Amino acid sequence: MSIFDKFDHLRQTYDSLGDRAHNPFSVSFDRIESATEGVLGGRRVILLGTNNYLGLTFDQHGIDEAVRAVQTLGTGTTGSRVANGSYAGHGALERDLAAFFGRRHCMVFSTGYQANLGMLSTIVGRGDHLILDSDSHASIYDGARLGHAEVIRFRHSDPDDLYKRLRRLKDVPGSKLIVAEGIYSMLGDVAPLREIAAVKREMGAYLMVDEAHSMGVLGEHGRGLAEAAGVEADVDFIVGTFSKSLGSVGGFCVADLDGFDILRVACRPYMFTASLPPSIIASTRSALQRLDRDKGLRTQLMANATQLHGGLRALGLEVGPHISPVVSVALDEPEVAVRFWNALVEGGVYLNLALPPATPSSRPLLRASVSAAHSPRQIQKAVDLFGEIGRELGILPAEPFVELPRIAVGAV
Amino acid sequence: MQLSEIREQIIAGLHQARPDVPDIGGATRIVQDLELDSVAVMDFILSVEDRFDISIPLDRVADIVTVDDLAQVVERLGNAERA
Ligand SMILES: Cc1ncc(COP(=O)(O)O)c(C=O)c1O
């Protein structure tokens, strides 16, 4: 009898995936060489699963700023902003983000996970209603559980289902907050935000969008799906992370609503944890400036995403419905997916494996995330390797398919 | 709607999700006995919500173990909405 007995089932599943070197859930890199290359088990691999959308983790200006900050301000803040005080950089980053999104208020959190945990557990309370997309990220579900609002789900990216559920709540008192994501992290599909915003307006609810995977990716200025869909005025809260396109760690929420600042002394995942260290604040500010200034990064990112999505699709593999920097290949058998993943790593391409039930539609996924820093040759190498392994495993016929027409993100 | 009628409709829905399981009754445990994974359970709950025109809050979903538990939640929510 052990306190860990309750995990027996999980342990079995985990162990069945192979020993440490071959287990997709215990990957440990020997070295990271650049935004797109690392060494894994002594083998050089292309990093195609790191959410490093703009490739800014080795941006020289960001590194210089981080070094300068660590030398002048030290390695950590050793406390919370509420109890132990903010540094100038915290406020400066909040002003930068507010200006970037064209909103009055911003709160920075220590991770994106905590931003969702904090916002969702605080801004709605007892007697209020949270209406979540059923494919929401774990941090959204966890934030919902931490708070006291009544939580219901609508069918993934289905504005009609959302409408139906809000209609049932029509005469029920309390605030209603709808939560959706810009780009969904598993399949790279884009939310029908214009339609969701229309439902929100008609039904008098609030709307929060998590732009974790779409900030710096979608929109003319990189402000995410709300900008791309032309509905920024309808989105009351935007949540995001620094751990993807901004290449560091941290999270934030921006809003324009009066009274927002009270959250600084009400939101526990903001108050009761240490604030971000100066080096992180410095590199994040630098990355945000670059994201804002350098539109070429987004153009290159979309070109790379189109190349990978189109290439895999032309092979005859089943990829997600939209072209976005998250490109996932759906397979049928988990065992085959694990073998496929190992063969990709052995061939020099690292990406993510996602197994049901952590995937939509109960199918295993090989999940790639494209970076602006990938070269066309790296993407082509990945596509070729997918083809070779797919044919070896009997998933693909001996001859590649003809390229099919595809749907572009620009069409949302 | 009567509790017994709700239960029957839920059982009919579960037979569709698991046509290979012959006897599903009020005491059948939805996750353990029918071996539905969390995605399948979520899809099933969404279909029940459609069928009875209700939304079941997640904290109540967490408390549901058997078919009877689910039927009772559906009945209560259905009545509350008409009241
Ligand atoms: C949609 C979504 N929201 C939030 C997060 C959490 O972000 P962070 O890595 O900053 O905790 C992630 C990333 O894992 C995500 O995919």
CA A289/CA A291 separation, integer angstroms: 5
Give residue A410's pLDDT band: very low, low, confident or very high (50, 70, 90): very low
The pLDDT value given to residue A399: 66
Residues A15-33, mean pLDDT to the nearest whole number: 87
Q: Reduced to 3 states, what is the DSSP secondary structure of residue A326?
A: strand
Domain A5-56+295-411 has CATH 3.90.1150.10: yes
- State yes or no: pLDDT of A98 exceeds 50: yes
- Please report, for chain A, the start and end positions of each structural domain, with discontinuous segments joined by +: 5-56+295-411, 58-293
**How do residues A215-238 score in pLDDT, each as one tens digit?**
999 999 999 999 999 999 999 999
Cβ-based burial of B51 (10 A; exposed 0-12, middle 13-18, buried ≥19) = middle
The pLDDT value given to residue A234: 98
Residues A167-175, mean pLDDT to the nearest whole number: 95
- Span A58-293: which CATH code? 3.40.640.10
Instruction: Tell me the pTM.
Output: 0.94
Q: Which tokens hold the place of A309?
A: 């999505």
CA A110/CA A391 separation, integer angstroms: 44
Residue A114 C-alpha to ligand 1 middle, in angstroms? 9
Residues B5-14, mean pLDDT to the nearest whole number: 93
Indicate if ligand 1 lies below 6 Å from the C-beta of A260: no
Residues A35-59, mean pLDDT to the nearest whole number: 97
Give residue B40's pLDDT band: very low, low, confident or very high (50, 70, 90): confident
Residues A94-120, mean pLDDT to the nearest whole number: 98
The pLDDT value given to residue A22: 79
CA A280/CA A250 separation, integer angstroms: 8
The pLDDT value given to residue B83: 52
Identical fold for domains A5-56+295-411 and A58-293, yes or no, is no
Residues of chain B that touch chain A, judged by Cβ-Cβ distance less than 8 Å: 37-40, 42, 46, 53-59, 81
**How do residues A317-361 score in pLDDT, each as one tens digit?**
999 999 999 999 999 999 999 999 999 999 999 999 999 888 887
Q: Reduced to 3 states, what is the DSSP secondary structure of residue A186?
A: coil
CA A167/CA A150 separation, integer angstroms: 16
CA A149/CA A138 separation, integer angstroms: 17
Give residue B22's pLDDT band: very low, low, confident or very high (50, 70, 90): confident
Residues A171-177, mean pLDDT to the nearest whole number: 96
CB contacts of B39 in chain A (<8 Å) are 356-357, 359-362
Give residue A401's pLDDT band: very low, low, confident or very high (50, 70, 90): low
**How do residues A131-149 score in pLDDT, each as one tens digit?**
999 999 999 999 999 999 9
**pLDDT-above-90 percentage for chain A:** 90
Do residues A196 and A207 lie in contact, with contact meaning Cβ atoms separated by under 8 Å?
yes
The closest residue, in CA terms, to atom 16 on ligand 1 is A185
- State yes or no: pLDDT of A404 exceeds 60: no
Residue A226 C-alpha to ligand 1 middle, in angstroms? 18
Q: Reduced to 3 states, what is the DSSP secondary structure of residue A279?
A: helix
Whether omega before A357 lies within 30 degrees of 0, making that bond cis, reads yes
- State yes or no: pLDDT of A272 exceeds 90: yes
**Nearest 5°: phi and psi at A72?**
-90, -30
Q: Which tokens hold the place of B51?
A: 């069928």
The top-scoring range by mean pLDDT among A309-318, B37-46, B55-64 is A309-318
B-chain residue closest to A152, CA distance: B57
The pLDDT value given to residue B79: 76
Tell me the CB-side half-sphere exposure of residue A325, using CA atoms within 13 A.
32
CA A388/CA A381 separation, integer angstroms: 11
Indicate if ligand 1 lies below 6 Å from the C-beta of A212: yes
Residues B35-59, mean pLDDT to the nearest whole number: 90
- Please answer yes or no on whether A169 and B57 come within 8 Å at the CB atom: no
The closest residue, in CA terms, to atom 3 on ligand 1 is A212
**How do residues A197-207 score in pLDDT, each as one tens digit?**
999 999 999 99
CA A310/CA A307 separation, integer angstroms: 5
This complex has an ipTM of 0.89
- Please answer yes or no on whether B59 and A151 come within 8 Å at the CB atom: yes
Give residue A412's pLDDT band: very low, low, confident or very high (50, 70, 90): very low
Q: Which of ligand 1's atoms lies nearest the C-alpha of A249? A: 10
**pLDDT-above-70 percentage for chain A:** 96
- The gap from C-alpha A220 to its chain's centroid, in whole angstroms, comes to 19
Instruction: Count the residues in chain A.
Output: 412
Tell me the CB-side half-sphere exposure of residue A357, using CA atoms within 13 A.
11
The pLDDT value given to residue A138: 95
- State yes or no: pLDDT of A240 exceeds 60: yes
Straight-line distance from the first to the last Cα atom of chain B, in angstroms, rounded to the nearest whole number: 13
Do residues A30 and A52 lie in contact, with contact meaning Cβ atoms separated by under 8 Å?
no
CA A197/CA A203 separation, integer angstroms: 10
> Would you tell me how many other CB atoms lie within 10 Å of the CB of residue A282?
27
- Please answer yes or no on whether B37 and A357 come within 8 Å at the CB atom: yes
- Average the pLDDT over each of A292-296, A379-383, B32-36 and give the range with the smallest value: B32-36
Question: In chain B, what are the domains?
Answer: 3-82 (1.10.1200.10)
Q: Which tokens hold the place of B54?
A: 């209700």
Q: Which of ligand 1's atoms lies nearest the C-alpha of A185? A: 16
The pLDDT value given to residue A411: 41
**Shortest Cα distance from B2 to chain A (angstroms)?**
21
**Nearest 5°: phi and psi at A3?**
-65, -20
Calculate the average pLDDT of chain B. Answer: 89
- The gap from C-alpha A33 to its chain's centroid, in whole angstroms, comes to 23
Residues A268-287, mean pLDDT to the nearest whole number: 98
- Average the pLDDT over each of A69-73, A217-221, A329-333, A398-402 and give the range with the smallest value: A398-402
CA A270/CA A128 separation, integer angstroms: 21
Q: Which tokens hold the place of A144?
A: 């919902």
